[in-house]
A and B are shown apart, each in its own frame.
Chain A
Protein backbone atom coordinates (compact mmCIF):
# COMPACT_ATOMS: atom_id res chain seq x y z
CA UNK A 1 0.00 0.00 0.00
CA UNK A 2 1.32 3.45 -0.97
CA UNK A 3 1.17 6.42 1.36
CA UNK A 4 1.34 9.88 -0.21
CA UNK A 5 1.22 11.73 3.11
CA UNK A 6 4.81 12.03 4.40
CA UNK A 7 5.66 10.20 7.63
CA UNK A 8 7.39 12.49 10.13
CA UNK A 9 10.15 10.60 11.94
CA UNK A 10 11.57 10.98 15.43
CA UNK A 11 14.95 11.87 13.90
CA UNK A 12 13.16 14.98 12.49
CA UNK A 13 13.60 13.56 8.98
CA UNK A 14 10.53 12.77 6.89
CA UNK A 15 9.73 9.68 4.86
CA UNK A 16 8.07 10.70 1.59
CA UNK A 17 6.03 8.58 -0.81
CA UNK A 18 6.55 5.37 1.07
CA UNK A 19 5.13 1.92 0.65
CA UNK A 20 4.20 -0.70 3.21
CA UNK A 21 3.82 -4.31 2.17
CA UNK A 22 1.54 -6.37 4.36
CA UNK A 23 -0.27 -9.68 4.47
CA UNK A 24 -3.54 -10.52 6.14
CA UNK A 25 -4.96 -13.85 7.26
CA UNK A 26 -8.56 -14.61 8.18
CA UNK A 27 -11.56 -12.32 7.81
CA UNK A 28 -12.26 -8.94 9.35
CA UNK A 29 -15.63 -9.16 11.12
CA UNK A 30 -18.44 -6.70 10.53
CA UNK A 31 -17.68 -4.71 13.67
CA UNK A 32 -14.00 -4.59 12.60
CA UNK A 33 -13.13 -5.68 16.10
CA UNK A 34 -11.17 -8.90 15.54
CA UNK A 35 -7.94 -7.55 14.02
CA UNK A 36 -4.60 -8.59 15.51
CA UNK A 37 -1.39 -6.90 14.46
CA UNK A 38 1.74 -9.08 14.49
CA UNK A 39 4.98 -7.06 14.77
CA UNK A 40 8.19 -8.51 13.43
CA UNK A 41 11.63 -8.46 15.01
CA UNK A 42 15.05 -7.75 13.47
CA UNK A 43 15.17 -10.05 10.47
CA UNK A 44 11.58 -11.10 9.83
CA UNK A 45 8.91 -9.69 7.54
CA UNK A 46 5.21 -9.27 6.84
CA UNK A 47 5.07 -12.96 5.88
CA UNK A 48 3.92 -14.27 9.26
CA UNK A 49 2.13 -17.50 8.37
CA UNK A 50 1.36 -19.96 5.62
CA UNK A 51 3.33 -20.75 2.47
CA UNK A 52 3.23 -19.11 -0.94
CA UNK A 53 1.74 -21.17 -3.74
CA UNK A 54 4.32 -23.35 -5.45
CA UNK A 55 6.98 -22.65 -2.82
CA UNK A 56 6.79 -25.23 -0.04
CA UNK A 57 9.80 -23.71 1.71
CA UNK A 58 8.22 -20.28 2.11
CA UNK A 59 6.69 -20.95 5.53
CA UNK A 60 5.91 -17.75 7.48
CA UNK A 61 8.17 -16.91 10.42
CA UNK A 62 5.49 -17.39 13.08
CA UNK A 63 3.56 -20.17 11.36
CA UNK A 64 3.58 -22.37 14.48
CA UNK A 65 1.53 -19.72 16.31
CA UNK A 66 -0.63 -18.18 13.59
CA UNK A 67 -3.09 -20.08 11.39
CA UNK A 68 -6.37 -21.97 11.36
CA UNK A 69 -6.85 -23.74 14.72
CA UNK A 70 -3.53 -22.41 16.04
CA UNK A 71 -3.20 -20.32 19.24
CA UNK A 72 -3.70 -17.14 17.21
CA UNK A 73 -6.54 -18.69 15.26
CA UNK A 74 -7.09 -17.15 11.84
CA UNK A 75 -10.56 -18.72 11.76
CA UNK A 76 -11.50 -16.23 14.46
CA UNK A 77 -9.09 -13.34 14.06
CA UNK A 78 -8.07 -11.07 11.22
CA UNK A 79 -4.29 -11.13 11.46
CA UNK A 80 -2.11 -8.42 9.92
CA UNK A 81 1.60 -8.77 9.23
CA UNK A 82 3.40 -5.66 7.98
CA UNK A 83 6.98 -5.12 6.89
CA UNK A 84 8.40 -2.08 8.66
CA UNK A 85 9.98 0.81 6.73
CA UNK A 86 13.76 0.56 6.64
CA UNK A 87 13.62 -3.23 6.41
CA UNK A 88 14.27 -5.10 3.17
CA UNK A 89 11.23 -7.23 2.35
CA UNK A 90 9.26 -4.85 0.16
CA UNK A 91 8.33 -1.85 2.29
CA UNK A 92 10.29 1.30 1.53
CA UNK A 93 13.86 0.79 2.65
CA UNK A 94 17.49 1.57 1.79
CA UNK A 95 17.42 -0.41 -1.47
CA UNK A 96 14.51 1.68 -2.78
CA UNK A 97 14.76 4.84 -4.86
CA UNK A 98 15.05 8.07 -2.90
CA UNK A 99 12.52 10.43 -4.51
CA UNK A 100 14.84 13.38 -3.76
CA UNK A 101 17.78 11.99 -5.74
CA UNK A 102 16.25 9.30 -7.96
CA UNK A 103 19.08 7.06 -6.67
CA UNK A 104 18.78 4.20 -4.18
CA UNK A 105 18.65 5.53 -0.60
CA UNK A 106 21.56 3.40 0.57
CA UNK A 107 23.17 5.07 3.58
CA UNK A 108 20.86 8.09 3.18
CA UNK A 109 17.80 6.26 4.38
CA UNK A 110 16.67 8.15 7.48
CA UNK A 111 17.13 6.59 10.91
CA UNK A 112 13.80 5.13 11.99
CA UNK A 113 12.60 4.18 15.47
CA UNK A 114 10.06 1.91 17.12
CA UNK A 115 7.78 4.96 17.47
CA UNK A 116 8.02 5.67 13.73
CA UNK A 117 7.20 2.07 12.92
CA UNK A 118 4.19 2.14 15.19
CA UNK A 119 3.00 5.38 13.54
CA UNK A 120 3.33 3.72 10.13
CA UNK A 121 1.41 0.67 11.39
CA UNK A 122 -1.33 2.92 12.79
CA UNK A 123 -1.71 4.56 9.37
CA UNK A 124 -2.02 1.14 7.78
CA UNK A 125 -4.78 0.31 10.27
CA UNK A 126 -6.50 3.61 9.35
CA UNK A 127 -6.36 2.62 5.70
CA UNK A 128 -7.82 -0.81 6.52
CA UNK A 129 -10.66 0.86 8.46
CA UNK A 130 -9.57 -0.55 11.82
CA UNK A 131 -10.04 1.90 14.68
CA UNK A 132 -9.12 -0.49 17.46
CA UNK A 133 -7.05 -3.65 17.31
CA UNK A 134 -8.12 -6.64 19.38
CA UNK A 135 -4.44 -7.15 20.12
CA UNK A 136 -0.93 -6.20 19.13
CA UNK A 137 1.56 -9.04 19.58
CA UNK A 138 5.30 -9.29 19.06
CA UNK A 139 8.47 -10.89 20.37
CA UNK A 140 11.85 -9.25 21.00
CA UNK A 141 11.89 -6.03 18.91
CA UNK A 142 8.30 -6.93 18.00
CA UNK A 143 7.44 -6.84 21.70
CA UNK A 144 8.88 -3.32 21.91
CA UNK A 145 6.46 -2.29 19.15
CA UNK A 146 3.55 -3.84 21.05
CA UNK A 147 4.56 -1.93 24.20
CA UNK A 148 4.97 1.27 22.19
CA UNK A 149 1.44 0.87 20.81
CA UNK A 150 0.06 0.74 24.35
CA UNK A 151 1.74 4.04 25.22
CA UNK A 152 1.34 5.88 21.92
CA UNK A 153 -2.15 4.77 20.90
CA UNK A 154 -3.69 3.66 24.21
CA UNK A 155 -7.24 3.52 22.86
CA UNK A 156 -6.38 1.66 19.69
CA UNK A 157 -5.59 -1.76 21.18
CA UNK A 158 -7.40 -3.89 23.72
CA UNK A 159 -4.60 -6.32 24.49
CA UNK A 160 -0.85 -5.91 24.35
CA UNK A 161 1.13 -9.14 24.15
CA UNK A 162 4.87 -8.59 24.52
CA UNK A 163 7.15 -11.61 24.48
CA UNK A 164 10.86 -11.99 25.29
CA UNK A 165 11.30 -8.25 25.25
CA UNK A 166 12.73 -5.40 27.32
CA UNK A 167 11.88 -1.80 28.18
CA UNK A 168 15.19 -0.81 26.53
CA UNK A 169 18.44 -2.49 25.54
CA UNK A 170 21.20 -2.97 28.09
CA UNK A 171 24.76 -1.74 27.45
CA UNK A 172 25.71 -5.34 26.69
CA UNK A 173 22.96 -5.57 24.09
CA UNK A 174 24.03 -2.34 22.42
CA UNK A 175 27.60 -3.65 22.49
CA UNK A 176 26.61 -6.76 20.52
CA UNK A 177 24.77 -4.58 18.01
CA UNK A 178 27.81 -2.35 17.64
CA UNK A 179 30.07 -5.32 16.88
CA UNK A 180 27.63 -6.35 14.16
CA UNK A 181 27.54 -2.85 12.71
CA UNK A 182 31.33 -2.51 12.73
CA UNK A 183 31.62 -5.81 10.88
CA UNK A 184 29.37 -4.43 8.13
CA UNK A 185 30.77 -0.90 7.95
CA UNK A 186 34.40 -2.08 7.78
CA UNK A 187 33.72 -4.53 4.95
CA UNK A 188 35.57 -3.11 1.89
CA UNK A 189 32.44 -3.79 -0.15
CA UNK A 190 30.37 -1.46 2.06
CA UNK A 191 31.41 1.72 0.19
CA UNK A 192 30.04 4.02 2.90
CA UNK A 193 26.63 2.40 2.51
CA UNK A 194 26.32 3.14 -1.21
CA UNK A 195 27.39 -0.36 -2.29
CA UNK A 196 24.31 -0.75 -4.48
CA UNK A 197 25.54 1.99 -6.83
CA UNK A 198 28.89 0.16 -6.99
CA UNK A 199 27.23 -3.16 -7.77
CA UNK A 200 28.74 -4.58 -4.57
CA UNK A 201 27.32 -6.37 -1.52
CA UNK A 202 29.14 -6.30 1.86
CA UNK A 203 28.52 -10.00 2.39
CA UNK A 204 31.50 -10.60 4.66
CA UNK A 205 30.29 -7.99 7.11
CA UNK A 206 26.74 -9.31 7.02
CA UNK A 207 27.96 -12.84 7.70
CA UNK A 208 29.89 -11.81 10.79
CA UNK A 209 26.99 -9.63 11.96
CA UNK A 210 24.64 -12.59 11.71
CA UNK A 211 27.10 -14.90 13.44
CA UNK A 212 27.45 -12.66 16.48
CA UNK A 213 23.69 -12.10 16.58
CA UNK A 214 22.96 -15.77 16.31
CA UNK A 215 25.21 -16.62 19.24
CA UNK A 216 23.21 -14.29 21.46
CA UNK A 217 19.89 -15.86 20.45
CA UNK A 218 20.89 -19.31 21.68
CA UNK A 219 21.55 -20.50 25.21
CA UNK A 220 24.81 -22.08 26.28
CA UNK A 221 22.90 -25.29 27.02
CA UNK A 222 21.30 -25.42 23.57
CA UNK A 223 24.68 -24.98 21.91
CA UNK A 224 26.19 -27.63 24.14
CA UNK A 225 23.39 -30.06 23.39
CA UNK A 226 23.33 -29.37 19.66
CA UNK A 227 27.05 -29.09 18.94
CA UNK A 228 29.09 -29.68 22.04
CA UNK A 229 32.75 -29.88 21.10
CA UNK A 230 31.97 -32.07 18.11
CA UNK A 231 34.48 -31.81 15.30
CA UNK A 232 33.25 -31.12 11.80
CA UNK A 233 35.02 -33.88 9.88
CA UNK A 234 38.02 -35.31 11.59
CA UNK A 235 37.83 -37.60 14.55
CA UNK A 236 40.94 -35.95 15.95
CA UNK A 237 41.90 -32.25 15.88
CA UNK A 238 43.71 -31.18 12.73
CA UNK A 239 45.47 -28.23 14.38
CA UNK A 240 44.34 -25.60 11.91
CA UNK A 241 43.75 -21.95 12.67
CA UNK A 242 41.70 -20.96 9.63
CA UNK A 243 39.76 -24.01 8.51
CA UNK A 244 36.54 -25.11 10.12
CA UNK A 245 37.33 -27.47 12.95
CA UNK A 246 34.29 -27.56 15.24
CA UNK A 247 30.63 -28.18 14.29
CA UNK A 248 29.55 -24.89 15.88
CA UNK A 249 31.84 -23.00 13.51
CA UNK A 250 30.32 -24.72 10.52
CA UNK A 251 26.82 -23.97 11.77
CA UNK A 252 27.53 -20.28 12.36
CA UNK A 253 29.19 -19.86 8.98
CA UNK A 254 26.22 -21.53 7.32
CA UNK A 255 23.83 -19.17 9.13
CA UNK A 256 25.98 -16.20 8.11
CA UNK A 257 26.11 -17.31 4.47
CA UNK A 258 22.35 -17.81 4.25
CA UNK A 259 21.65 -14.46 5.88
CA UNK A 260 24.03 -12.52 3.64
CA UNK A 261 22.14 -13.80 0.60
CA UNK A 262 18.84 -12.17 1.54
CA UNK A 263 19.36 -9.39 4.05
CA UNK A 264 20.35 -5.83 3.22
CA UNK A 265 23.36 -4.41 5.08
CA UNK A 266 21.91 -0.90 5.51
CA UNK A 267 18.70 -2.42 6.84
CA UNK A 268 20.76 -4.33 9.40
CA UNK A 269 22.40 -1.11 10.55
CA UNK A 270 19.07 0.69 10.72
CA UNK A 271 17.18 -2.02 12.57
CA UNK A 272 19.88 -2.60 15.18
CA UNK A 273 19.63 1.16 15.77
CA UNK A 274 15.84 0.85 16.11
CA UNK A 275 16.58 -1.54 18.96
CA UNK A 276 19.26 0.68 20.52
CA UNK A 277 17.15 3.84 20.56
CA UNK A 278 14.02 2.33 22.09
CA UNK A 279 13.76 3.70 25.62
CA UNK A 280 10.28 4.97 26.47
CA UNK A 281 11.34 5.84 30.04
CA UNK A 282 13.90 8.38 28.79
CA UNK A 283 11.32 11.14 28.28
CA UNK A 284 10.10 10.53 31.82
CA UNK A 285 13.38 10.94 33.61
CA UNK A 286 14.04 7.22 33.44
CA UNK A 287 10.74 6.40 35.14
CA UNK A 288 9.23 3.48 33.23
CA UNK A 289 6.05 3.58 35.31
CA UNK A 290 5.46 7.17 34.19
CA UNK A 291 5.98 6.07 30.57
CA UNK A 292 3.00 3.71 30.89
CA UNK A 293 0.78 6.29 32.62
CA UNK A 294 -1.47 6.68 29.57
CA UNK A 295 -1.68 2.96 28.75
CA UNK A 296 -5.08 1.31 28.98
CA UNK A 297 -4.58 -2.10 27.36
CA UNK A 298 -4.65 -5.46 29.07
CA UNK A 299 -1.14 -6.83 29.03
CA UNK A 300 0.32 -10.27 28.68
CA UNK A 301 4.06 -10.71 29.01
CA UNK A 302 6.12 -13.83 28.49
CA UNK A 303 9.83 -14.40 29.08
CA UNK A 304 12.08 -17.44 28.90
CA UNK A 305 14.40 -18.41 31.73
CA UNK A 306 17.41 -19.13 29.50
CA UNK A 307 17.05 -15.95 27.40
CA UNK A 308 20.14 -13.98 28.35
CA UNK A 309 19.67 -11.33 25.65
CA UNK A 310 16.20 -10.32 26.92
CA UNK A 311 16.18 -12.03 30.32
CA UNK A 312 13.17 -12.42 32.66
CA UNK A 313 14.47 -9.59 34.85
CA UNK A 314 13.77 -7.15 32.00
CA UNK A 315 10.20 -8.41 31.60
CA UNK A 316 9.72 -8.05 35.36
CA UNK A 317 10.70 -4.39 35.06
CA UNK A 318 7.82 -3.97 32.63
CA UNK A 319 5.46 -5.94 34.90
CA UNK A 320 6.38 -3.66 37.79
CA UNK A 321 5.71 -0.52 35.74
CA UNK A 322 2.30 -1.90 34.72
CA UNK A 323 1.47 -2.82 38.32
CA UNK A 324 2.40 0.69 39.42
CA UNK A 325 -0.23 1.93 36.97
CA UNK A 326 -2.78 -0.62 38.21
CA UNK A 327 -3.10 -2.07 34.73
CA UNK A 328 -4.29 -5.57 33.94
CA UNK A 329 -1.24 -7.75 33.43
CA UNK A 330 -0.41 -11.43 33.31
CA UNK A 331 3.15 -12.67 33.12
CA UNK A 332 4.42 -16.16 32.32
CA UNK A 333 8.06 -17.08 32.86
CA UNK A 334 8.66 -20.18 30.78
CA UNK A 335 11.48 -22.55 31.78
CA UNK A 336 12.49 -23.26 28.19
CA UNK A 337 16.07 -24.26 27.32
CA UNK A 338 16.35 -22.44 23.99
CA UNK A 339 17.43 -18.93 24.94
CA UNK A 340 15.99 -15.91 23.11
CA UNK A 341 15.02 -18.11 20.15
CA UNK A 342 12.39 -19.78 22.35
CA UNK A 343 9.83 -17.12 21.38
CA UNK A 344 9.78 -18.50 17.83
CA UNK A 345 9.56 -22.13 18.90
CA UNK A 346 6.59 -24.28 19.75
CA UNK A 347 6.60 -24.89 23.51
CA UNK A 348 3.37 -26.33 24.95
CA UNK A 349 3.41 -24.09 28.06
CA UNK A 350 4.18 -20.95 26.06
CA UNK A 351 1.65 -21.60 23.33
CA UNK A 352 -0.83 -22.79 25.98
CA UNK A 353 -0.95 -19.43 27.75
CA UNK A 354 -1.15 -17.56 24.43
CA UNK A 355 -4.00 -19.79 23.28
CA UNK A 356 -5.82 -19.11 26.54
CA UNK A 357 -5.26 -15.36 26.10
CA UNK A 358 -6.59 -15.36 22.53
CA UNK A 359 -9.58 -17.49 23.63
CA UNK A 360 -10.30 -14.79 26.19
CA UNK A 361 -9.98 -12.03 23.58
CA UNK A 362 -12.33 -13.94 21.26
CA UNK A 363 -14.86 -14.26 24.11
CA UNK A 364 -14.66 -10.52 24.76
CA UNK A 365 -15.23 -9.77 21.07
CA UNK A 366 -18.21 -12.14 20.95
CA UNK A 367 -19.69 -10.51 24.10
CA UNK A 368 -19.34 -7.05 22.57
CA UNK A 369 -20.98 -8.27 19.39
CA UNK A 370 -23.93 -9.64 21.37
CA UNK A 371 -24.55 -6.28 23.06
Chain B
Protein backbone atom coordinates (compact mmCIF):
# COMPACT_ATOMS: atom_id res chain seq x y z
CA UNK B 1 0.00 0.00 0.00
CA UNK B 2 2.25 2.76 -1.28
CA UNK B 3 -0.48 5.18 -2.14
CA UNK B 4 -0.39 7.99 0.42
CA UNK B 5 -4.15 8.53 0.59
CA UNK B 6 -4.74 4.81 1.06
CA UNK B 7 -2.15 4.84 3.85
CA UNK B 8 -3.97 7.72 5.52
CA UNK B 9 -7.32 5.93 5.26
CA UNK B 10 -5.89 2.88 7.02
CA UNK B 11 -3.93 4.95 9.54
CA UNK B 12 -7.17 6.68 10.53
CA UNK B 13 -8.35 3.30 11.88
CA UNK B 14 -5.42 3.20 14.34
CA UNK B 15 -6.11 5.03 17.61
CA UNK B 16 -3.42 7.63 18.44
CA UNK B 17 -0.74 6.38 20.82
CA UNK B 18 -1.36 2.73 19.95
CA UNK B 19 1.25 0.03 20.28
CA UNK B 20 1.33 -1.43 16.79
CA UNK B 21 2.69 -4.59 15.19
CA UNK B 22 2.91 -4.39 11.40
CA UNK B 23 3.15 -7.82 9.76
CA UNK B 24 4.96 -7.59 6.44
CA UNK B 25 5.84 -3.95 7.09
CA UNK B 26 7.79 -3.43 3.84
CA UNK B 27 10.03 -0.38 4.01
CA UNK B 28 8.42 0.80 7.25
CA UNK B 29 6.47 3.65 5.67
CA UNK B 30 3.25 2.92 7.55
CA UNK B 31 4.97 2.58 10.92
CA UNK B 32 6.95 5.77 10.35
CA UNK B 33 3.71 7.57 9.46
CA UNK B 34 1.93 6.22 12.55
CA UNK B 35 4.90 7.22 14.71
CA UNK B 36 5.14 10.75 13.29
CA UNK B 37 1.43 11.54 12.81
CA UNK B 38 -0.30 9.44 15.47
CA UNK B 39 2.35 9.04 18.21
CA UNK B 40 2.27 5.25 17.86
CA UNK B 41 5.05 2.88 18.90
CA UNK B 42 5.75 -0.63 17.75
CA UNK B 43 7.54 -3.01 15.47
CA UNK B 44 7.46 -4.25 11.93
CA UNK B 45 8.01 -7.81 10.81
CA UNK B 46 9.78 -8.34 7.51
CA UNK B 47 11.51 -11.16 5.72
CA UNK B 48 13.26 -9.26 2.89
CA UNK B 49 16.79 -7.95 3.57
CA UNK B 50 16.25 -4.76 1.55
CA UNK B 51 13.13 -3.89 3.55
CA UNK B 52 14.84 -4.60 6.87
CA UNK B 53 17.55 -2.13 5.84
CA UNK B 54 14.97 0.45 4.71
CA UNK B 55 13.20 0.20 8.10
CA UNK B 56 16.48 0.63 9.95
CA UNK B 57 17.20 3.71 7.81
CA UNK B 58 13.81 5.17 8.80
CA UNK B 59 14.48 4.44 12.45
CA UNK B 60 11.59 1.99 12.60
CA UNK B 61 11.93 -1.10 14.82
CA UNK B 62 12.01 -4.12 12.53
CA UNK B 63 12.27 -7.81 13.34
CA UNK B 64 13.39 -10.09 10.55
CA UNK B 65 11.15 -13.16 10.65
CA UNK B 66 9.29 -15.42 8.29
CA UNK B 67 5.60 -14.92 9.01
CA UNK B 68 4.90 -18.46 7.84
CA UNK B 69 6.64 -19.59 11.05
CA UNK B 70 3.98 -17.86 13.13
CA UNK B 71 4.04 -15.20 15.83
CA UNK B 72 5.17 -17.37 18.75
CA UNK B 73 7.52 -14.67 20.11
CA UNK B 74 4.57 -12.32 20.67
CA UNK B 75 2.33 -12.67 23.70
CA UNK B 76 -1.48 -12.77 23.66
CA UNK B 77 -3.09 -9.36 23.24
CA UNK B 78 0.32 -7.71 23.55
CA UNK B 79 -0.46 -5.05 20.94
CA UNK B 80 -3.28 -2.54 20.60
CA UNK B 81 -3.32 -2.98 16.86
CA UNK B 82 -1.86 -5.61 14.51
CA UNK B 83 -1.65 -4.57 10.87
CA UNK B 84 -1.56 -7.01 8.01
CA UNK B 85 -1.52 -4.68 5.02
CA UNK B 86 -1.13 -6.07 1.54
CA UNK B 87 0.41 -9.17 3.13
CA UNK B 88 -2.37 -11.74 3.51
CA UNK B 89 -2.37 -12.66 -0.18
CA UNK B 90 1.29 -13.72 0.00
CA UNK B 91 0.89 -16.16 2.89
CA UNK B 92 0.27 -19.86 2.62
CA UNK B 93 -1.26 -20.09 6.11
CA UNK B 94 -3.88 -17.39 5.62
CA UNK B 95 -6.35 -18.68 8.18
CA UNK B 96 -3.76 -19.37 10.87
CA UNK B 97 -2.18 -15.96 10.34
CA UNK B 98 -5.53 -14.28 10.74
CA UNK B 99 -6.10 -16.13 14.02
CA UNK B 100 -2.59 -15.16 15.14
CA UNK B 101 -3.30 -11.52 14.27
CA UNK B 102 -6.40 -11.63 16.45
CA UNK B 103 -4.51 -13.41 19.25
CA UNK B 104 -1.61 -10.95 19.41
CA UNK B 105 -3.60 -7.76 18.83
CA UNK B 106 -6.68 -6.39 20.54
CA UNK B 107 -7.63 -5.08 17.12
CA UNK B 108 -6.57 -6.37 13.70
CA UNK B 109 -6.55 -4.44 10.46
CA UNK B 110 -6.04 -6.19 7.13
CA UNK B 111 -6.00 -4.94 3.59
CA UNK B 112 -5.67 -6.95 0.38
CA UNK B 113 -6.46 -6.68 -3.34
CA UNK B 114 -10.13 -7.35 -4.04
CA UNK B 115 -10.39 -9.88 -6.84
CA UNK B 116 -14.08 -9.03 -7.35
CA UNK B 117 -13.40 -5.44 -8.42
CA UNK B 118 -15.42 -4.94 -11.63
CA UNK B 119 -12.47 -4.74 -14.11
CA UNK B 120 -11.33 -8.13 -12.81
CA UNK B 121 -14.82 -9.54 -13.26
CA UNK B 122 -14.91 -8.25 -16.84
CA UNK B 123 -11.58 -9.85 -17.56
CA UNK B 124 -12.64 -13.22 -16.15
CA UNK B 125 -15.97 -12.94 -17.99
CA UNK B 126 -13.94 -12.45 -21.18
CA UNK B 127 -12.12 -15.67 -20.33
CA UNK B 128 -8.77 -14.34 -19.11
CA UNK B 129 -7.20 -13.84 -15.67
CA UNK B 130 -7.11 -10.12 -14.85
CA UNK B 131 -3.93 -8.10 -15.21
CA UNK B 132 -4.67 -4.65 -13.79
CA UNK B 133 -3.09 -1.87 -11.77
CA UNK B 134 -4.02 -3.56 -8.48
CA UNK B 135 -3.25 -7.09 -9.76
CA UNK B 136 -0.40 -6.36 -12.16
CA UNK B 137 0.96 -9.91 -12.48
CA UNK B 138 0.47 -12.69 -14.97
CA UNK B 139 -1.12 -15.80 -13.50
CA UNK B 140 2.14 -17.71 -13.79
CA UNK B 141 4.38 -15.23 -11.97
CA UNK B 142 2.12 -13.66 -9.37
CA UNK B 143 3.30 -13.55 -5.73
CA UNK B 144 -0.38 -13.42 -4.76
CA UNK B 145 -0.92 -17.05 -3.88
CA UNK B 146 -4.25 -16.38 -2.13
CA UNK B 147 -6.56 -14.33 -4.30
CA UNK B 148 -9.87 -13.50 -2.65
CA UNK B 149 -12.67 -10.99 -2.63
CA UNK B 150 -14.09 -8.51 -0.18
CA UNK B 151 -17.07 -10.82 0.28
CA UNK B 152 -14.86 -13.90 0.73
CA UNK B 153 -13.08 -12.26 3.65
CA UNK B 154 -16.35 -11.66 5.46
CA UNK B 155 -16.86 -15.41 5.28
CA UNK B 156 -13.39 -16.23 6.60
CA UNK B 157 -13.72 -13.69 9.41
CA UNK B 158 -16.93 -15.36 10.55
CA UNK B 159 -15.31 -18.78 10.36
CA UNK B 160 -12.39 -17.53 12.50
CA UNK B 161 -14.71 -16.05 15.10
CA UNK B 162 -13.82 -12.44 14.36
CA UNK B 163 -16.15 -9.50 14.86
CA UNK B 164 -15.80 -6.94 12.08
CA UNK B 165 -15.63 -3.44 13.54
CA UNK B 166 -15.32 -1.56 10.30
CA UNK B 167 -14.87 -2.45 6.64
CA UNK B 168 -14.61 -0.53 3.41
CA UNK B 169 -12.97 -0.53 0.01
CA UNK B 170 -10.37 1.81 -1.37
CA UNK B 171 -10.32 2.89 -4.99
CA UNK B 172 -7.84 5.49 -6.28
CA UNK B 173 -7.10 6.60 -2.73
CA UNK B 174 -10.80 7.18 -1.95
CA UNK B 175 -12.85 5.31 0.64
CA UNK B 176 -15.58 3.19 -0.98
CA UNK B 177 -18.49 2.22 1.28
CA UNK B 178 -21.06 1.58 -1.42
CA UNK B 179 -20.79 -1.86 -3.09
CA UNK B 180 -17.11 -2.19 -2.16
CA UNK B 181 -16.98 -5.78 -3.46
CA UNK B 182 -17.71 -4.43 -6.94
CA UNK B 183 -16.34 -0.90 -6.84
CA UNK B 184 -12.99 -1.12 -4.98
CA UNK B 185 -9.64 -2.68 -5.88
CA UNK B 186 -8.54 -2.82 -2.24
CA UNK B 187 -10.47 -4.30 0.69
CA UNK B 188 -9.90 -3.11 4.28
CA UNK B 189 -11.22 -4.79 7.43
CA UNK B 190 -10.88 -3.84 11.08
CA UNK B 191 -11.81 -6.61 13.50
CA UNK B 192 -11.45 -8.07 16.97
CA UNK B 193 -11.93 -11.48 18.57
CA UNK B 194 -15.57 -12.05 19.37
Residues of A within 8 A of B (CB): 300, 316, 319-320, 323-324, 326, 328-335, 349, 352-353, 356-357, 359-360, 363
Contact = CB atoms under 8 A, between A and B. Distances in A.
Interface in B43-84: 43, 49, 52-53, 55-57, 59, 61-65, 73-75, 78
Identify whether the interface residues of B are mostly helix, strand, loop, or mixed. mixed
Nearest to B64: A333
16 contacts: A316-B65, A319-B73, A323-B43, A323-B73, A329-B43, A330-B52, A330-B55, A330-B56, A330-B61, A330-B63, A331-B62, A332-B52, A352-B53, A360-B57, A360-B59, A363-B59
A329 B53 contact: no
A329 B61 contact: yes
Given A300-B56, A331-B64, 6 more contacts: A323-B78, A328-B61, A329-B63, A332-B62, A349-B49, A353-B56
Nearest 3 pairs of A and B residues by beta carbon: A356-B56, A320-B73, A333-B64
Contacts of B57: 356, 359-360
Contacts of A333: 64-65
A277 B74 CA distance: 28
A324 to B, nearest CB: 7
Identify whether the interface residues of A are mostly helix, strand, loop, or mixed. helix
Interface size class of B (residues with CB under 8 A): 10 to 19
Contacts of B61: 328-330
B120 interface: no
B19 interface: yes
A330 B73 contact: no
Contacts of B75: 323-324
B86 to A, nearest CB: 22
Contacts of A359: 57
A365 to B, nearest CB: 14
Contact of A332 (B19, B64, B73): B64
Contacts of B59: 360, 363
